[in-house]
Structure 1
Amino acid sequence: MIPSDVFRELPSLTDDRLRLVPLAEEHFDGVRRMVDDPVVRRLTGTHRTFTDDEVRQHLATRADHHDRADWAITDAGTGAFLGEAVLHELDAPNATAGYRIALLGPDVFSRGYGTAATRLVLNYAFGTAGLHRVGLEVFDFNVRAQRVYEKCGFVREGIYRSALYSGGIWHDVIAMGIIASDPRSG
């Protein structure tokens, strides 16, 4: 079992290209742009819109939630906001958490940022936080994300049939997971 506040002291995570820093109010402009992008909204299954106050409130309270880890994905050289990565829905007795990631928009897709950020988060999750399992859900039409997750060691575990209504049709949601002993790249 791990502590229920395992994410209380959230570190920054870095590699040669990225720096994942605790998500905070200073990331408002990037988050606002990300949650308004129609492509990002589709890929994340987001149906509702958010007000500036809702986004600010969300950012202002991230440090208060020790049962989740919210990082801003930033360029290591420039500090530019590239997206967010989150470990959430911590189940401390079972040492498991969910994972989600959203990049800023099509301008930053297909550059390896999602793969690099996911690897950093998994190294932290298993090496530092002591998690046993990390799971996620991805939509059937998001093939690029599925490839990233598989490259990072996630395994397909099941399908929630017709679980998302988007673009006038029903889509399947694919459940994926990785456990600490699974092989990972990077």
Structure 2
Amino acid sequence: METNCEWTTGQQAQDYGTTLLEDDAVVLRESEPEDFAVLAPWWNDPRWAVLQQRVIKPRPSQHLADMFASWCVNRPESGKAGFSIFEKATGSLVGHVTLYGGTLPHRAADLSIMIGPEYVDKGLGTRAVKLMCGYGFKELGLHCVALKVAAFNSRAIRAYEKAGFSVEGRERDAYFHDGRFHDALVMGFLDREYFAS
């Protein structure tokens, strides 16, 4: 479907709505309290926390539920949107994705995603990132989406590149794990790049 043409029927609008938050493999939907009970152990698992958090520091489940809930309020004026990620074939909750900070006049948001350990390496994260960026560009009117990723997290970097992101810079010694510093990569994706692809 072309994104730069004017709709002439309600069916065109509904077709857009149908594909906005889902593709053939994943669905993004509102997050519910029962999702947070699944997400919290993934957040607290040190094997995965080292890949996505600056400090491995497990937190109480209720604190994490409150944190995830705050990411998913989805008020239009807040400049952020957060969704649970579900695998379409099984209906399983596989992760969470958030855009935040996308307010006027800059229309530049940051992206954060967490995929459950048993769902890594299935392409679901890449699909969810593509959907979330599309949502940001097509529905929220964002101009760019950015993220930071530890330079040692090569699997995530490949997934972000497949989703359309490019490396824009490097923050030296931005992470501290195992008694030493590690670099972070800054990656970005512009609306014009999304619509051209």
Deviation digits for residues 11-41 of structure 1 (CA, Å, limit 9, x no counterpart): 9711111111122312022112211222220
Aligned AA (1:170):
F
Aligned AA (2:66):
Q
Give the alignment's Cα RMSD to 1 decimal.
2.1
1:85-164 to 2 correspondence within 5 Å?
A: 85-105=97-117, 107-164=118-175
Q: Take 2:111 and 2:68, find their aligned partners in 1: how far apart are those partners?
A: 18
Structure possessing the higher relative contact order (Cα contacts under 8 Å, 6 or more residues apart): 1
Deviation digits for residues 42-94 of structure 1 (CA, Å, limit 9, x no counterpart): 11124222112212323444326533111111111332111111101223211
Confirm or deny: 8 A CA contact 2:74 2:80 kept in the other structure.
no
Aligned residues: 175
Q: Take 1:12 and 1:132, find their aligned partners in 2: how far apart are those partners?
A: 17
Aligned AA (2:39):
V
2:73 to 52, 56, 63: 63
Q: TM-score w.r.t. structure 1 length?
A: 0.85
Aligned AA (1:63):
V
Give the secondary-structure state (helix, strand or coil) at the position aligned to 2:73: helix
Deviation digits for residues 140-178 of structure 1 (CA, Å, limit 9, x no counterpart): 110111111111221111111001001222110100111
Confirm or deny: 8 A CA contact 1:30 1:82 kept in the other structure.
no
Structure-1 residue corresponding to 2:62: 53
1:165 to 161, 173, 176: 176
Q: Whose helix fraction is larger, Structure 1's or Structure 2's?
A: 2
Residue 43 in 1 paired to residue 51 in 2?
Answer: yes
Q: Could you tell me the percent identity over the aligned residues?
A: 29
Confirm or deny: 8 A CA contact 1:95 1:132 kept in the other structure.
yes
Give the Å deviation of 1:116. 0.6
Confirm or deny: 8 A CA contact 1:152 1:185 kept in the other structure.
no
Residue 17 in 1 paired to residue 29 in 2?
Answer: no
Give the secondary-structure state (helix, strand or coil) at the position aligned to 1:56: helix
Q: Take 1:92 and 1:24, find their aligned partners in 2: how far apart are those partners?
A: 28
Q: Take 1:152 and 1:185, find their aligned partners in 2: how far apart are those partners?
A: 13
Q: List gaps (5 residues or longer) in structure 1.
A: 1-10
